[in-house]
């Protein structure tokens, strides 16, 4: 094999020598380290699919942490490796190191986490080449053989796929995720809204959601406007706060789902997902459903530059205006042709 780059990638002298002595068919085993919550986890599907395509002879092991197992793509991997996470803080160091070592040897290791835990995995396990995208050069020099560029200005999936492009992989664009699911079929087309997030500062104000839903329920009376409830009590409280002044509007209501699979099915049947920066929006992205992301800050790392995905961002700090979010939604709905075969409709 060879490295396919001129500039913008760092490779050690060892890596430049080692790559000449192996062929693509020599790669029998790949480890992918991904320590991430639901949204980032499902985005990893694109990398796993492209890794399988680039190295068809290789078995793939995915390494995750115990507190982040939602959305693990079991259908795309051959083995799952789990190390102790924040939910197992009291585990003795000896046991932690033992589980880290259980990752074992792999021909290639791709670090899609660049965290203290992933560096421990790189330190305690051997591979022909260890590839990562740390923000700091010193981390690359210590833990990686090859390091690609990483920027918050890029959609993170693109930065992950760059690790495969170093080996000459031809990755698909738009990205392919092959997200499994059974789209829900309802009598009327519907839009999904998700009003909470992992942290409070990512949440668009409830008053803004109320104003938005009042307008859209009138402008799109043939659609159901469904607020997807979160699982935590405070998330449900936000939904109730939003619904209270809208209780006389028939086509605005909430639904709850218990599992990731149920949420995915509901999303896959919708025309559009409107969401704060959270995993629900990423479920829409990997399901190839149009999305509008509401960002109170910089969106680039989580914004795929595809026509079916848009973002509403403020001019400066603070929440985007209601009209800005509404314009993005209207644009997306106009771009999505609805007919008898479209998701969310029945014949």
152-195 residue pLDDT tens: 899 999 999 999 999 999 999 999 999 999 999 999 999 999 99
How high is the mean pLDDT of the chain? 93
What separation in angstroms does the CA of 224 have from each of 78, 183, 189, 227, 255? 40, 16, 6, 10, 11
pLDDT at 312: 94
Give the model confidence (pLDDT) of 252-293 as tens digits: 999 999 999 999 999 999 999 999 999 999 999 999 999 999
- Share of residues in the chain with pLDDT > 70 (%): 97
Give the model confidence (pLDDT) of 323-336 as tens digits: 999 999 999 999 87
Do the domains 9-165 and 190-335 sit in the same CATH topology, yes or no? yes
pLDDT at 337: 56
Tokens 């086509």 sit on residue: 251
Q: What is the DSSP string of 212-231?
A: HHHHHHHH-TTSEEEEEE-S
Contact 346, 187 (CB under 8 A): yes
Alpha-carbon distance of 96 to 143, in angstroms, equals 19
Domain boundaries, the chain: 9-165, 190-335
CA angle, 340 as apex, 334 and 341 as ends, to 5°? 90
- CB neighbourhood size of 182 (10 A): 11
Pick the CATH number of 190-335 from 3.90.550.10, 3.40.50.920, 3.40.30.10, 3.40.50.2000: 3.40.50.2000
SS3 (DSSP) at 192: strand
Q: What predicted TM-score, i.e. pTM, was given to this entire model?
A: 0.93
Exposed/middle/buried for residue 106 (C-beta within 10 Å: 0-12, 13-18, 19+): buried
Alpha-carbon distance of 16 to 64, in angstroms, equals 29
Contact 32, 53 (CB under 8 A): no
Pick the CATH number of 9-165 from 3.90.1150.10, 3.50.50.60, 3.30.1300.10, 3.40.50.2000: 3.40.50.2000
Give the model confidence (pLDDT) of 69-85 as tens digits: 999 999 999 999 999 99
């Amino acid at each position: 094999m060879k490295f396919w780059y001129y500039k913008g990638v760092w490779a050690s002298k060892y890596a430049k020598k080692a790559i000449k002595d192996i062929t693509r068919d020599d790669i029998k085993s790949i480890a992918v380290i991904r320590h991430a919550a639901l949204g980032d986890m499902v985005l990893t599907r694109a990398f796993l699919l492209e890794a399988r395509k680039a190295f068809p002879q290789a078995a793939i092991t995915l390494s995750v942490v115990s507190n982040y197992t939602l959305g693990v793509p079991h259908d795309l991997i051959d083995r799952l490796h789990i190390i102790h996470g924040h939910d197992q803080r009291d585990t003795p160091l000896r046991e932690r190191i033992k589980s880290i070592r259980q990752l074992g040897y792999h021909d290639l290791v791709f670090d899609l986490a660049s965290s203290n835990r992933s560096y421990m995995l790189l330190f305690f396990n051997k591979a022909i080449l260890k590839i990562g995208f740390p923000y700091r050069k010193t981390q690359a020099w210590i833990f990686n053989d090859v390091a690609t560029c990483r920027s918050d200005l890029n959609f993170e999936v693109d930065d992950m796929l760059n690790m495969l492009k170093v080996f000459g992989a031809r990755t698909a664009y738009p990205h392919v995720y092959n997200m499994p699911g059974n789209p829900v079929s309802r009598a009327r087309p519907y839009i999904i809204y998700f009003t909470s997030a992992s942290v409070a500062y990512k949440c668009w104000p409830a008053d803004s959601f109320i104003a938005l839903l009042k307008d859209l329920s009138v402008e799109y009376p043939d659609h159901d406007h469904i607020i997807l409830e979160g699982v935590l009590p405070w998330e449900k409280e936000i939904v109730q706060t939003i619904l209270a002044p809208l209780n006389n509007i028939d086509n605005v209501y909430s639904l709850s789902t218990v599992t990731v699979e149920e949420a995915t099915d509901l999303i896959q049947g919708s025309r559009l997902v409107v969401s704060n920066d959270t995993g629900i929006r990423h479920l829409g992205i990997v399901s190839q459903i149009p999305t509008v992301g509401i960002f109170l800050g910089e969106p680039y790392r989580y914004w795929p530059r595809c026509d079916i995905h848009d973002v509403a961002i403020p001019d400066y700090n603070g929440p985007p205006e209601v009209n800005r979010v509404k314009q993005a939604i209207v644009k997306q709905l106009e771009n999505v042709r609805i007919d008898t075969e479209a998701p969310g409709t029945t014949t």
